[in-house]
Structure 1
């Protein structure tokens, strides 16, 4: 996972459970993913570990895990936040579209890392120091990861992170500056990044959709394959 470059990164796993923590005071940077085969007691232990540390976090429960995990989350004081569609785009042609005056580049160096952080700070109301620790400039040099930044008149207005897994690509941390949303910037950014990935041999894309991004992803022919449920301890910007 691309969060592995975070300054305070910590991870743990049990069957059906994956915990990834940036150890920042931002729920969206700390998550527990629950899938098939997860054990109720292991789930409860991982939740309690985060709660005892007073660390805000998300628990993302996929349908195959079953509804008993929702009851455990609620019993431990987590709040249901939002449904979380998991979307896939299979192999089909794609050309860049959206706002024609937006320039999209594959990020490199500290300046681009800072620009990407500024976008995420605006889009998700996160502290900039937390963003820079979770997504440092070293991420841009990592194998299997690309960060794309969109600029308009030289100003950073969008950012997205792509991770590569064979011929499959994950899309993460997609954001548009709060003052520039609904103007075709997100479409330009994502379609350009995906078209570049396709030219490099990628044939399938996946992502988890927030309500704000769902229509954009549908317009790019992503299809929902299942819907998870997000529970939160603290405040999240997933809804």
Structure 2
């Protein structure tokens, strides 16, 4: 199996861990495909991941039908191999290409320079979950009640998603989540509100978290980057494995 498809399988597991606690969530999963629908009308909270799966075309058709039945927009991310065969199907179903997401990996042995000294704490307990949720809502300009329903609920000791907060002199500055699967960790929800950006907080937090997990035996990390975040990840040693095509099905499609 090539590395991209292996990482797609891990992305499937990560999305399940992230979405399953949300109220009203509907999940459909195969080895390399996952559909997660919520009651939220925003596309970011209705997700489809498609790898090179023998059931991929049927899964895509059913996913589009389910999203349309619920009146929900849907963001679909495909592996390049999946897109080779599924792009015409996606177009027929009403999906439109909206860009690509770099799939990035930090490999074992790649040195990570530490950032500025900061206090880093796990977001456990209602009060710290609220702090992390506030940072995420501000960073992504998303209504706080939506973050509470879809993300705060995952910040529990048994959720499988581990969230951390970096504190500066003026209080909490940024947050990041890690979903461990064996010796590999999925990095997600790297969130720094605008007023705290360009101060080194994100780098400090991520380098601290990576170092801590490495001491506990984790050897590899992966993430889906935005173009805005890509320079930070590259400066820490992450490499692009593949550019994953991203498609959008609007609620009106």
With normalisation by structure 1, the TM-score equals: 0.88
Q: Name the counterpart of 1:166.
A: 182
Give the alignment partner of residue 86 of structure 1, picking from 83, 88, 103: 103
For structure 1, list consecutive stretches of 5 or more residues without a partner in the other structure: none
Aligned length in residues: 234
Deviations 1:53-100 (A, max 9, x none): 121221001111133423333333333222111111111265663343
Structure 1 residue 182 and structure 2 residue 195: aligned?
no
- 3-state secondary structure, aligned to 1:49: helix
Distance 2:186 2:100 in 1: 19
Distance 1:96 1:234 in 2: 42
Q: Name the counterpart of 2:8.
A: none
Structure 1 residue 120 and structure 2 residue 136: aligned?
yes
Q: Name the counterpart of 2:62.
A: 45
CA contact (8 A) 2:176 2:206 kept: yes
Please provide the CA RMSD for this pair: 2.1
CA contact (8 A) 2:76 2:246 kept: yes
Give the alignment partner of residue 198 of structure 1, picking from 214, 217, 220: 214
Structure 1 residue 36 and structure 2 residue 27: aligned?
no
Distance 1:219 1:158 in 2: 18
| Mapping for residues 93-108 of structure 1, pairs under 5 Å | 94=111, 97-100=114-117, 102-108=118-124
Give the alignment partner of residue 162 of structure 2, picking from 146, 149, 153: 146
With normalisation by structure 2, the TM-score equals: 0.84
CA contact (8 A) 1:97 1:191 kept: yes
Distance 1:67 1:137 in 2: 36
C-alpha change, 1:15 and 1:148, in structure 2 (3 Å) is: closer
C-alpha change, 1:51 and 1:178, in structure 2 (3 Å) is: farther
CA contact (8 A) 2:113 2:236 kept: no
- 3-state secondary structure, aligned to 1:71: helix
Q: How much has 1:4 moved relative to structure 2?
A: 1.9
C-alpha change, 1:58 and 1:132, in structure 2 (3 Å) is: same
C-alpha change, 1:128 and 1:188, in structure 2 (3 Å) is: same
- 3-state secondary structure, aligned to 2:228: coil
CA contact (8 A) 1:87 1:206 kept: yes
| Mapping for residues 22-33 of structure 1, pairs under 5 Å | 22-33=38-49
C-alpha change, 1:62 and 1:216, in structure 2 (3 Å) is: same
| Mapping for residues 3-18 of structure 1, pairs under 5 Å | 3-14=19-30, 16-18=32-34
Q: How much has 1:203 moved relative to structure 2?
A: 0.9
Q: How much has 1:114 moved relative to structure 2?
A: 0.8
